[in-house]
Amino acid sequence: MKRVAAASVVTAMSASLAQRLFAADAAAPGMKGRVNHSVCKWCYPRISLEDLCVAGKGMGLTSVELLNPPDFPTLKKHGLTCAMVSNPVIEGLGGIERAWNRVEHHDRLVQAYEQRIKEVADAGLTNLICFSGNRAGLDDEKGIENCALGLKRIMASAEKSKVNIVMELLNSRVNHKDYQCDHTEWGVELCKKIGSERFKLLYDIYHMQIMEGDLIVRIKKFAPYIAHYHTGGVPGRNEIDETQEINYPAVMKAIVDTGFKGHVAQEFIPKREDKIASLKQGVQICDV
């Protein structure tokens, strides 16, 4: 009896999800066409990539991101792209904490990124994420120097393959203690040091509200160095509606006014039971 009951619950949940996905697809709003919308898959661990593609496409998304090469065929099946490809990780290197700001990591990172650049290019994609790593006592000037030294080794491949290497700006106050690329100026100085149009920044609106604020002024000032945007409500990194402090419509209008043609990805962790409804709301808020 217990097994039958459990199976019934699972069937009901599946049916409920299927109904919501169908409703999202059927009721896709007319998008204004000024913003390219994406979503980060990791925020929806209980929703399959297949289902997220169906729901996302129905609400106007053109991308599901922070995925790896094995996921690309699923995206292609649904006519979606991956606006930001996940970083390769080799021997514990390449993630947020241990990455390009340490010279001793460079040889292994270069090998891993050269392969990932090829995979990104072969799939017809454009953006590949990277991270600075944590300071761990390293001063900021040396961190820029070390990152540039290593990243310059892969820029020829990136340029030839027309792939952007994009370093994410993250906060070091709440979520990623000691992360080095935690201010826009630091990232911009790294861009200048590398000196390639194929190296840019991922401006995470949530993270930079925590670290810097003054979002609209800074987005306009540093727009030439930004290839991609992420969202998230402050505080808490949840829904981007009236429950948090960022005026997302105003921020999005500022982004559009810079002439930005890339993607804006929803990267909040939904608190509500209906995760698909929260995602759809976020997309609509950002569709200015």
8 Å CB contact between 84 and 202: yes
Q: How far, in whole angstroms, is CA 162 from its chain's centroid?
A: 19
Tell me: pLDDT of 10 over 80.
no
d(CA 150, CA 104): 10
8 Å CB contact between 108 and 154: no
CATH numeric code, 2-286: 3.20.20.150
Q: What is the pLDDT of residue 8?
A: 38
CA dihedral 232, 285, 83, 191 (to 10 degrees): -60
What is the CB neighbour count within 10 angstroms for residue 273? Answer: 7
What pLDDT band is residue 284 in, cutting at 50, 70 and 90? Answer: very high
Q: Where are the domains of the chain?
A: 2-286
pLDDT one-digit tens code per residue, 223-279:
999 999 999 999 999 999 999 999 999 999 999 999 999 999 999 999 999 999 999
Which residues, in sequence order, are bridge partners of residue 228? Answer: 202
N-term to C-term CA, the chain: 52
- Report the amino acid identity of residue 234: V
